Amino acid sequence: MRASRVKYMVLVLIIILLHSSALFGQAVDPAVARNGMVVSTDRLASKAGLEILKKGGNAIDAAIATAFAMAVTYPSCGNIGGEGFLLYYGNDGVVSAIDFRTQAPAAATQKMFLNEKGTGYKKSHIKGLHITDSPVSVGIPGTVAGLALAHRKFGRLPWSDLIEPAVELAVKGFPVSERLHNEMKDSRKYFLKYTSSTKFFLKENKKVYEAGEIWRQPDLAETLKRIQEHGEGEFYTGQTAELIAASMKEHGGLITVEDLKNYRAIEREAEHSTYRGYDIYAMPLPSSGGITQTEILNILEGYNVEEKGHNSALYLHVLAEAMRRAYWDRALHLGDPDFNSDIPEERLKSKEYAGFLRTTIDLEHASKSKELENTLKSHGSRETTHFSVVDSGGNAVSITYTLNGDFGAYLVAEGTGIVLNN
């Protein structure tokens, strides 16, 4: 498959991201650019990435700048205290998948969230918080290590240049958006459980910042400056690591300095599939996205979707039914291969299996999820974000990163400005 066709497909996927709101009947006025583009949910973070492109940085550089900026401006899921996945496509045809998921601390156990009978969750030691939102739930953050690994392999500009926009935002502050104000208001009662979170997120009168008010983050600015000067090592072995470990010890969390020291981001082979002659690359396990996407596209490949008409009732019916089946399999089978060796990966990705699934789709009637024996009992959190970058050379980056739930564990590590994940 020619590299140009692969590049075209990557760009098409990013355009789909830009137009996704059209599926829900919203008017879209897409941005157009000749020399690159940064697409994220936060205007200030996108601007930080764009500044790096204008300075001669490549897509990796701009993605790193966007990610660090979003840790300042979109703290409900933008993070350096969380995790994520990075997918890179180079104009030379090189494809890389970087896994920077959180990892469990050494003291974690398989049943640590269960009550003595093993029949449900135990009570949290933090009153009013579920055990899976408490300090015990915090995993070893991977974002800084993942971004640093991407920079070592594919970056162009100096590391310090990429963090400077985030430092500036944290020092000078920025106007709180209506969205951020509402998110803080919804989570205020949880911030109040920790002195460090109250100090970080709320004003001196313990009220949330109003839309338009300037929010400055001096502790986070100092943390970013240390990472800017000393690199990822400072986060995992330096003062920041010590502050995180101290906060964990104070609040009953499990992460130690040794846990942080031992963390490593992992470069994996990207998930590869084909769709109507195009090569598709996506994140492999432990991300469920690649296999789920492959299954959906394999099912759709058996229909003439162009003939059905974009956003027509029949097109949306087929799309929904394909997604229903792929997410059913995701809930039943997918997990971390380091701890689950019984994942039928090849079957789920096969064209033959997709052919069988198509035989279960009725073009006249919707399926019932109960009939598919869907075991997924809850909805995923809204607070995971995705952003994409393309530079003038045709290099492309796609990042998904998160604190898991809204504001993760609601706990800010004292003296760092880092919101820890759950």
pLDDT tens column, 343-361: 899 999 999 999 999 999 9
**pLDDT exceeds cutoff 60 at 6:** no
Paired tokens of 283: 């994140």
Residue 371, C-beta contacts closer than 8 angstroms, at least 6 positions apart: none
pLDDT in tens, 376-396: 444 445 578 999 999 999 999
* CATH architecture designation of domain 273-372: Orthogonal Bundle (1.10)
Return the number of other C-beta atoms located less than 10 Å from residue 189's C-beta.
Answer: 11
pLDDT in tens, 34-63: 999 999 999 999 999 999 999 999 999 999
β-strand partners of 114: 121
Q: Which range has the worst mean pLDDT, 184-193, 335-344, 345-354?
A: 335-344
Site of tokens 């898991």: 404
Average pLDDT on 185-199 reads 97
Query: How does residue 374 score in pLDDT terms, banded at 50, 70 and 90?
Result: very low
β-strand partners of 84: 100, 401
Write phi, then psi, for 39 (nearest 5 degrees): -120, 110
Characterize the bridge pairing of strands 418-419 and 412-413. Answer: antiparallel
**pLDDT exceeds cutoff 70 at 17:** no
**pLDDT exceeds cutoff 80 at 405:** yes
Between these two residues, 374 and 294, which has the higher pLDDT value? 294
Query: How does residue 195 score in pLDDT terms, banded at 50, 70 and 90?
Result: very high
Indicate the pTM of the whole model.
0.87
Domain with CATH 1.10.246.130 in the chain: 273-372
Annotation says 384 is catalytic: yes
Task: Output the pLDDT for position 26.
Answer: 52
β-strand partners of 83: 402
SS (H, E, C) the chain: CCHHHHHHHHHHHHHHHHHHHHHHCCCCCCCCCCCEEEECCCHHHHHHHHHHHHCCCCHHHHHHHHHHHHHHHCCCCCCCCCEEEEEEECCCCCEEEEEECCECCCCCCCCCCECCCCCCECCCCCCCCCHHHCHHHCCECCHHHHHHHHHHHHCCCCHHHHHHHHHHHHHHCEECCHHHHHHHHHHHHHHCCCHHHHHHHECCCCCECCCCCEECCHHHHHHHHHHHHHCHHHHHHCHHHHHHHHHHHHHCCCCCHHHHHHCCCEEECCEEEEECCEEEEECCCCCCHHHHHHHHHHHHCCCCHHHHCCCCHHHHHHHHHHHHHHHHHHHHHCCCCCCCCCCCHHHHHCHHHHHHHHCCCCCCCCCCHHHHCCCCCCCCCCCEEEEEEEECCCCEEEEEEECCCCCCCCCEECCCCEECCC
Return the number of other C-beta atoms located less than 10 Å from residue 406's C-beta.
Answer: 18
Catalytic residue among 198, 237, 274, 384, which? 384
Q: Which range has the worst mean pLDDT, 5-14, 86-95, 271-280, 321-330?
A: 5-14
